[in-house]
Structure 1
Amino acid sequence: MARPVWTGVVSFGLVSLPVALYTATDSHTIRFHQLQRGTADRIRNRRVNERTGDEVDLGEIVKGFDTGSEYVIVEPGELDDIAPGRSKALEVSGFVDLDTVDPIFFDKTYYLGPRGEQHGKVYALLQRALAESNKAGIATFVMRAREYLVALKTEGDLLTLHTLHWADEIRDPHTEVPDLPGKAEPTAAEVKTAHQLIDALTTDWNPDDFHGTFQEKIKALVEAKAAGETTEKAEPAAQPTGGLDLMEALRASVERARSPKDTGEKASTSQNTRSGKKTAAKKRTGSSASGSLKSLTKAELYEKATKAGVKGRSSMTHDQLADALSKGR
């Protein structure tokens, strides 16, 4: 059973609830040791007195604030003494509509549990009230000598605590991000086709459908190198759409996104009627396999030309791309 990272009291109005805070997430990052190149010697970080060069025990290290002329030493207990509620209180200052909290403010998630079965009713009351009202309690509290702004909300049948960024920690994107579109405006047709692409790619959110593959590739790389083998390199990144007509790329994307569903429906119809007619998707596949490149869209031809390294492809028409590919240029 996990140990709480913080214990204290949540209070709203005159109601108080003793709680324990638990870490909600794990990191699956693969960690490497630092070694000196050409050896198996580990490199370790040590706490060293910069004047004497001697290693210092952790218990002998204190916090010091540099005033310019001297260091002011602050003990851990002194930080607790000045913390709101002596670091044990989480007082809800108000409740807000959850939908009004911009996702950019959310940082880390914790599970919040009652500290003792006798507090189960108060816990259940707060959880149900927040769930039915779709609101979050906003509060501040101190943990490990740091003050946090937090949102108290529900996830299923339990309470969760989400640390939030302070307003002055959110950077202005217009000063941080170069080359924002500015006055560049897409055409109405491009916007309409983009909506069609989004609709075609819309699916239900199920986090279990996703898992990180990069960590698996790192493991495979390590295993292959240990066995003296080589691993395949990843596919190169997609080329920018700049050299290709945007509208053509959008239409090709919509067609590709819809093709699995359409192919299945048409194949079923064809099998039921036994007409012997092939679906459009099957025709395209058969034509492509037989070398009829002109049955492909310009976007598909351009993608193949990019992989084949066809020179001058950005200025070619549909038929010119097909001819260049067929000649192996």
Structure 2
Amino acid sequence: MARAVWSGSLTFGLVTLPVQLATATESHTVRFHQLERGTSDRVRNKRVNERTGKEVPYDKIVKGYDTGDGEYVVIEPAELDEITPGRSQAIEISGFVELEAIEPAYFDSTYFLQPRKEHANVYGLLRDALAETGRAGIAVMSMRQKDYLVAVHEQGGVLVMHTLHWADEVRDPHETLDNLPSRSKASAKERKMAAQLIEAMAMEWDPHDFRDRTQERVRELVEAKRTGETVERAEKPPESTNVVDLMSMLEASVDQARSGRTSKGSKKTGQAKAGGSRKSGKKKSQPDLGELTRDELYQLATDAEVPGRSRMNRAELEKAVARSARSAA
């Protein structure tokens, strides 16, 4: 059970709902310590005076704002404490907006809201009303000596709160980016083909379909180093598409996407037939491994938990996947 990071009340109108905040996400990044090469000695960071090189104790450190001309405005920690807000006791919703109206760039951190048991009915009322209207409550709250703009809405049967970036923190893309085309020079045929490619690659959103390959390979590298083995280098990224070949690449992509969808559909149909004909002793058909890419083979090997898969080349992956499929049959 996640520890509550904030406790207080959520208010809307004259209704007050005691709630607790719990972080909605956690990092799966592999953590490393810094060591001196050739030893197991930890390397620590120290706060040092850059002029004298001497370490400075924490209670001797103040904050300095660079005015841009080499001078600093010095701010004492106590002075910040006097002007910054303490932890607010309430999330006071000032109004409700369409959830879809909040641009994705504004979203920052995500928290789950949970009620006290005796206030479950009020919690359920707000949750269901937000789900029905598709709106999010907007409020400003204080937490960790900072003000936060937040949005509260329903997701998966739970009240969810997002901290949002302030308006002046979100950059204007037209001022930030240099090479945005004012208008696409693509032909009508190319635009139509691009739309067909998007439709051919349409899919249902399921985050469980995706994996952090980098972190998987980092863990495999750690295990390989621990056991004295080696790990294969990552494949090079694909080259940029030549503008002259754009139409042919679009057509080939549409064909590939459609054939991929057909093969997936055939695979599901084959699985259904195999499941319904087990009594007759028919075996489930396997995909043609020779037509799969190395990444697709690697995914099959990951699903089958093939040991040492990160160190295998394409041919070795194909053999390992085939061997695993025969063992499972």
TM-score (norm 2): 0.72
Q: How does 1:57-136 map to 2 (within 5 A)?
A: 60=59, 64=63, 68=72, 70-74=74-78, 78=82, 83=85, 87-114=88-115, 116-136=116-136
The 3 A distance-change label for structure 1 pair 202 and 100 is same
Unpaired runs of 5+ in structure 1?
269-281, 286-329
The 3 A distance-change label for structure 1 pair 76 and 89 is farther
Q: What do you get for the CA RMSD once the two structures are aligned?
A: 2.8
Report what 1:39 is aligned to: 39
Amino acid at match of 1:172: D
Report what 1:150 is aligned to: 150
Amino acid at match of 2:178: P
Per-residue deviation, 1:38: 3.6
Asked whether the equivalents of residues 197 and 257 of structure 1 are also in contact (C-alpha less than 8 Å), the reply is yes
Unpaired runs of 5+ in structure 2?
66-70, 270-287, 292-329
Per-residue deviation, 1:229: 2.6
Amino acid at match of 2:199: D
Per-residue deviation, 1:83: 2.4
Asked whether the equivalents of residues 24 and 110 of structure 1 are also in contact (C-alpha less than 8 Å), the reply is yes
Amino acid at match of 1:83: P
Per-residue deviation, 1:65: 5.9
Asked whether the equivalents of residues 30 and 215 of structure 2 are also in contact (C-alpha less than 8 Å), the reply is yes
Asked whether the equivalents of residues 92 and 139 of structure 2 are also in contact (C-alpha less than 8 Å), the reply is yes
Q: How does 1:1-329 map to 2 (within 5 A)?
A: 1-47=1-47, 53=54, 56=57, 60=59, 64=63, 68=72, 70-74=74-78, 78=82, 83=85, 87-114=88-115, 116-242=116-242, 244-262=244-262
Per-residue deviation, 1:70: 4.9
Per-residue deviation, 1:217: 0.4
Per-residue deviation, 1:37: 3.1
TM-score (norm 1): 0.72
SS at match of 1:221: helix
- Larger CA Rg, structure 1 vs 2: 1
The 3 A distance-change label for structure 1 pair 52 and 258 is closer
- Provide the rounded CA distance (Å) in 2 between the counterparts of 1:12 and 1:4: 22
- Provide the rounded CA distance (Å) in 2 between the counterparts of 1:89 and 1:221: 47
- Provide the rounded CA distance (Å) in 1 between the counterparts of 2:44 and 2:240: 43
SS at match of 1:46: coil
Asked whether the equivalents of residues 62 and 75 of structure 2 are also in contact (C-alpha less than 8 Å), the reply is no
- Provide the rounded CA distance (Å) in 2 between the counterparts of 1:14 and 1:266: 57
Per-residue deviation, 1:110: 0.2
Number of residue pairs aligned between Structure 1 and Structure 2: 264
Report what 1:308 is aligned to: none
